Amino acid sequence: MSSSTSETQRADQTEGVEIRARDLTRRFGSHVAVDKLTLEVSPLTCFGLLGANGAGKTTFIRMVTGFLLPSDGELLVGGVSPAAYPDEVNKKLGFVMETSRLYPELRVIGLLNFLAGARGLSGAAARTAIEAVIERFHLEGVAKRLIGNLSKGYQQRVSLAQAFLHDPPLVIVDEPTGGLDPVQRGEVQEILRDLRGERTVVLCTHDLEEARSLTSRVAVLNAGKLVAAGDTQTVLGSSDTLALFASGDPAQATPETA
């Protein structure tokens, strides 16, 4: 790796990565999954993306990663279009998969070795990266075990670890605590809490308490539209229930607690 490349990556990690969407739209036939979404995620923010199943969160994330192309509008990740330059965007991006998408027949160390190679790491660089994530996510005791034999909590730690192998300045975490017991949930949330201010984090969740605990800013989607966005405490308040009144122009919708 050249010194200029290293300096660029260090700058990215210090500054985080910004996401900008303007009138972003994605259609599947006649169905509009994301509808003229205008949204900004500032660098180094822990940003919550909230909404029920079908709200458009996953479709938006798939466009950020370059997996899906927008039907209309503009999307930039670190100033780069994922649709035009997906490889460049993915070098800056770590994505925390659902645990079901891990390879259960592989050992933890085998999976990390495989994914390190897939991300262009080899030799001493790969070994250093793998050792770093094993230590960071406390996987020393399970590194040689089959992933399919691990608890859901440890599988989620492995999912987090693989996302950090290339030390990306942007990490997207999709429903990180779904299906975990209270102890496992707390452990994963503590790991995510430690990331705040270190890099840009986008947390997709429908758990309001999790969003309040981990994020500083949030956006709420409903039927593909943005219905609320801003400071977490302002948007979500402190009660256990969030009622979104989104009739009429969604830009005028306001959250209320009940």
Give the tens place of pLDDT for each residue, 68-93: 999 999 999 999 999 999 999 999 99
Supply the pLDDT for residue 100.
67
Q: At what angle are helices 123-136 and 108-118 packed, to 10 degrees? A: 130
Domain 3-92+168-257 has CATH 3.30.70.260: no
Given a contact cutoff of 8 angstroms between Cβ atoms, the answer to whether 115 and 163 are in contact is no
Across 10-14, 123-127, 207-211, least confident range? 10-14
Band of pLDDT at residue 5, cut at 50, 70 and 90 = very low
**Banded model confidence at residue 15, pLDDT cuts 50, 70, 90:** low
pLDDT band at 238 (very low <50, low <70, confident <90, very high): low
Average pLDDT over residues 161-177: 92
| pLDDT at site 247 | 39
d(CA 220, CA 228): 5
pLDDT for position 99: 64
DSSP state of 175: S
With 50 as the cut, is the pLDDT of residue 248 above it? Answer: no
Going from the C-alpha of 150 to that of each of 106, 129, 141, 201, the distances in angstroms are 11, 22, 11, 26
pLDDT at site 41: 95
**Per-domain residue ranges of the chain:** 3-92+168-257
Lowest mean pLDDT among 140-154, 169-183, 230-244: 230-244
C-alpha Rg value of the chain to the nearest Å: 18
Is 258's pLDDT higher than 60?
Answer: no
| H-assigned helices in the chain | 3-15, 57-64, 86-91, 108-118, 123-136, 152-163, 182-193, 208-214, 232-236
Q: What is the pLDDT of residues 39-74, one digit of tens each?
A: 999 999 999 999 988 899 999 999 999 999 999 999
pLDDT average, residue stretch 196-204: 90
Nearest to 31 by CA among 222, 212, 224: 224
Q: Which residues pair with 21 in a beta bridge?
A: 39, 75
Mean per-residue pLDDT for 214-224? 94
Element housing 226 (H / E): strand 225-231
Distances (CA, A) of 213 to 1, 34, 236: 38, 27, 11
8-state DSSP, 80: B
Give the tokens for residue 228: 């609320």
Q: Decide if pLDDT at 8 tops 80.
A: no
β-bridge pairing 217-222 and 46-50: parallel
Amino acid 89 reads V
> What are the distances in angstroms from CA 94 to CA 11, 97, 118, 142, 182?
17, 9, 13, 22, 25
Judge contact between 205 and 232, C-beta under 8 A: no
With cut-offs at 50, 70 and 90, classify the pLDDT of residue 2: very low
Is the separation of the CB atoms in 111 and 102 below 8 Å?
yes
Query: How far, in Å, CA of 114 to CA of 203, rounded?
Result: 26
Strands 19-28 and 31-41: antiparallel
